[in-house]
Amino acid sequence: MRILIISDLHGNMEAVRALPKDFDEMWVLGDLVTYGPEPAEVVDFVRRNARVVLRGNHDNAAGIHTDPRCSDAFKEMASATLAYTDSQLDDKQRDYLAELPLIAERFVQGYRFLLCHATPSDPLFKYCPGDPDCWQSETRDVPANVLLVGHTHVPFAVHLPQHTVVNPGSLGQPKHGDAKASYALWEDGRIDLRSCSYSVTETVRKINAMPVPDRIRRDLADVLLTGVVPARLGQREGLARLF
């Protein structure tokens, strides 16, 4: 049983196209839209191909026209690309995003999985990096062997006495120093964090055609090309919570 696990696609269809095709199921941990140039195409791809899909804070914002509650450094970027995303989606796509579940459970080959975008206690918004202390608290009442989360755009695996917490990182906007698209693969009791190259320059070309301010296009391109947050944004944010 091969399960492809992805999160934080953010409208980056070029990264989606680079994913491996040899899987039995695809699980998506949220944030299909905003930031990237092709939100509608990504939503349609996920609807056609994913077995399990969770709602992220950006999906929530696009689906019901509300604040994604991004950090201060990213509020302007999120607002501008959310408006662009809204112009690209039709009502059925918005309804799809709004109606996605916040938490899902799956049972596979004797393993019990719990899936959410951020954390079990706050599925949409709480920021919890790969810190065992944070996840020890979050998993205390989780009735699962494996917890799958996204939101941070940074891949990690945390092994606790009773749980394994895995974040596949961001497929569409990685922020851990590697511009490759990040994902995870579960196969017969083993989970691996992986990445794949894709046409970043083509995504940047499409971003440069988006009707958003030049500085936002530059920042979006910088993140994709380097896999890190632009220095001026990182300084404003103190590198504390970057999504």
**DSSP 8-state code for residue 108:** E
Give phi and psi for 131, each to the nearest 5.
-105, 115
Q: Are 172 and 11 in contact (CB under 8 A)?
A: yes
Report the chain's mean pLDDT, rounded to a whole number: 94
Q: What is the pLDDT of residue 60?
A: 98
Q: What is the pLDDT of residue 71?
A: 83
Q: What is the pLDDT of residue 236?
A: 45
CATH number for the domain whose boundaries are 2-103+166-237: 3.60.21.10
For the chain, where are the E strands, in sequence order? 2-6, 25-28, 52-53, 103-108, 111-116, 146-148, 156-159, 164-167, 181-187, 190-196
Q: What is the mean pLDDT of residues 33-61?
A: 98
Q: What is the pLDDT of residue 243?
A: 53
Q: How far apart are the C-alpha atoms of 51 and 185, rounded to whole Å? A: 14
pLDDT digits (tens, 9 = 90+) for 176-187: 999 999 999 999
Which pTM value belongs to this model? 0.95
For the chain, domain boundaries: 2-103+166-237
Q: What is the pLDDT of residue 229?
A: 85
pLDDT category, 29, cuts 50, 70, 90? very high
Q: What is the mean pLDDT of residues 190-201?
A: 98
In percent, how much of the chain has pLDDT > 90? 91
Identify the three-state secondary structure at position 222: helix
What angle, 0 to 180 degrees and rounded to 10, lies between the N-to-C axes of helices 57-64 and 91-99? 130
pLDDT digits (tens, 9 = 90+) for 108-150: 999 999 999 999 999 999 999 999 999 999 999 999 999 999 9
pLDDT category, 237, cuts 50, 70, 90? very low
In percent, how much of the chain has pLDDT > 70? 95
Residue whose entry in the numeric block shows the structure tokens 């394994």:
164
| Distance between first and last Cα of the chain | 32
Q: How far apart are the C-alpha atoms of 10 and 25, rounded to whole Å? A: 20
Q: Which two tokens stand for residue 69?
A: 């509650």
pLDDT digits (tens, 9 = 90+) for 8-24: 999 999 999 999 999 99
How do the residues of the chain divide into helix, strand and coil, expressed in percent and rounded to 5? 35, 20, 45
Of the given ranges (184-188, 197-201, 218-222, 237-241), which has the lowest mean pLDDT? 237-241
